[in-house]
Amino acid sequence: MEIRYFGANCVRVQTKKVGVVIDDNLDEIGQKSITKDSDIALYTSKGDTLFKNKKPGNFLADKPGEYEVSDISIKGIAARSHMDEEGTKTAIVYRLIIDDIKIGVLGHIHPDLNDDQLEALGMIDVLIVPVGGSGYTLDSVGALKLIKKISPHIVVPTHYDDKKLKYDVPQAELEEVRKTLSMEPADQLDELKIKGREFSEGTKLVILSRE
């Protein structure tokens, strides 16, 4: 399995059989869409509440529910978005099981997942979490709060400042985020390759270069 980062909250998880693309709104921030017709496309917001031009791929999920597609288990969990009023849940948190690896995907959510949501998310090996803040998405403080509750083996931060991307609001610098998270990255990689369930103790930060 390979995980690659394309900017904003967009990542591709690629196996030998299928690709899973998360939050492909790249054409809205000055980049080209990466979603292929054969891909599974996941979005972390319901309907068009955040992403206006969703790419369907072969299968699209943008609401809570449980799905089995191409031997991949997908669970979408309703959550309060960063911009929702209390009691409203327009965001989706995802739990993916791919080749026995459990991946958690946090979108632009409020940093207070409750016990039921955390239980539904369960044990996570790799957590993909936005950190840019500025009222648009999780900031590094909110991200750290959730990281401590979820306790993944690997954290992949997304949606931090990138001068080549056209964000609606300024996003936090990566170095600032790293200081708040207080985790030295084990590696800065072009892509994260995972073979089997060989994870080190504790939680490590992996920075993926944007493609």
Report the pLDDT averaged over residues 137-162. 94
Domain boundaries, given as residue ranges, for the chain: 64-208
Report the pLDDT averaged over residues 135-156. 92
Structure tokens of 26? 């790249």
The pLDDT assigned to 52 comes to 58
Report the pLDDT averaged over residues 151-173. 91
Distances (CA, A) of 100 to 1, 13, 97, 125, 126: 11, 14, 6, 10, 12
Residue 175: exposure state from Cβ atoms within 10 A (0-12, 13-18, ≥19): exposed
Confidence of residue 24 (pLDDT cuts 50, 70, 90): very high
Q: Inform me whether the pLDDT recorded for 137 exceeds 80.
A: yes
Distance CA 151, CA 126 (A): 10
Report the pLDDT averaged over residues 144-151. 95
Give me Rg for the CA atoms of the chain: 15
Residue 196: exposure state from Cβ atoms within 10 A (0-12, 13-18, ≥19): exposed
The pLDDT assigned to 51 comes to 57
Tell me the residue type at 175: E
Q: Inform me whether the pLDDT recorded for 199 exceeds 90.
A: no
The pLDDT assigned to 47 comes to 59
Q: What is the pLDDT of residues 77-117, one digit of tens each?
A: 999 987 788 888 989 999 999 999 999 999 889 888 999 99
Higher pLDDT, 189 or 53: 189
Distance CA 151, CA 156 (A): 13
Q: Extract the runs of DSSP E, i.e. beta strands, from 119-208.
A: 126-130, 154-158, 185-189, 192-193, 204-208
Distance CA 149, CA 160 (A): 22
Measure CA 198 to chain center.
21
Q: Inform me whether the pLDDT recorded for 50 exceeds 60.
A: no
Distance CA 163, CA 29 (A): 11
Q: Inform me whether the pLDDT recorded for 131 exceeds 70.
A: yes
Confidence of residue 132 (pLDDT cuts 50, 70, 90): confident
What integer best gives the mean pLDDT of the chain? 90
CATH class of the structural domain 64-208:
alpha beta
Structure tokens of 126? 């790799």
Q: What is the pLDDT of residues 26-48, one digit of tens each?
A: 988 999 999 999 999 999 987 55
Q: Inform me whether the pLDDT recorded for 134 exceeds 90.
A: no
Structure tokens of 199? 């994870």
49, 57, 77: which is closest to 13 by C-alpha? 57
Tell me the residue type at 44: T
Q: Inform me whether the pLDDT recorded for 196 exceeds 70.
A: yes
Report the pLDDT averaged over residues 57-82. 93
